[in-house]
Homo-oligomer: A and B are copies of this chain.
């Protein structure tokens, strides 16, 4: 049996980066998304308030999921890096608005981001097939 093919989706709307990683990698029915932060379409960090950085990160995640044939509703797991623990209440409020119930599995840790980032999110999602529509849980 051959291994399942690996896909590296790219799309003009997803941020590029000069760093050695793919925005996402698809294998089998899953897409693994690289840690997404507050960067512009050229991959340059955009320093902002926690809310601004959070929204830009989620927007980048959504674009990358779309390029891979998935969306925020098909995320099964997220790992979240919040630089300052003081931002956790705001993080939980914004997160509840960005995703919808039933929510993905989630882990959140703090104090482990470089000083130029306030937030980063990494995700695993199910790939859906747009011609047939995406089915939710």
Contacts and interface: CB of A to CB of B under 8 A. Distances in A.
A27 B85 CA distance: 31
Contacts of A103: 20-22
A1 B109 contact: no
- Most chain B CB atoms below 10 A, which of A8, A23, A127: A8
Given A21-B103, A25-B105, A79-B122, 15 more contacts: A3-B29, A8-B102, A19-B96, A19-B106, A21-B105, A21-B106, A22-B102, A22-B104, A25-B77, A25-B104, A27-B29, A27-B76, A32-B77, A88-B114, A107-B120
Contacts of A136: 6
Interface string A1-17: 11111111000000000
A25 B2 CA distance: 19
A85 B107 contact: no
A2 B131 CA distance: 10
A106 B76 contact: no
Interface in A19-68: 19-25, 27-30, 32-35
Contacts of A126: 3-4, 6, 27
A110 B114 contact: yes
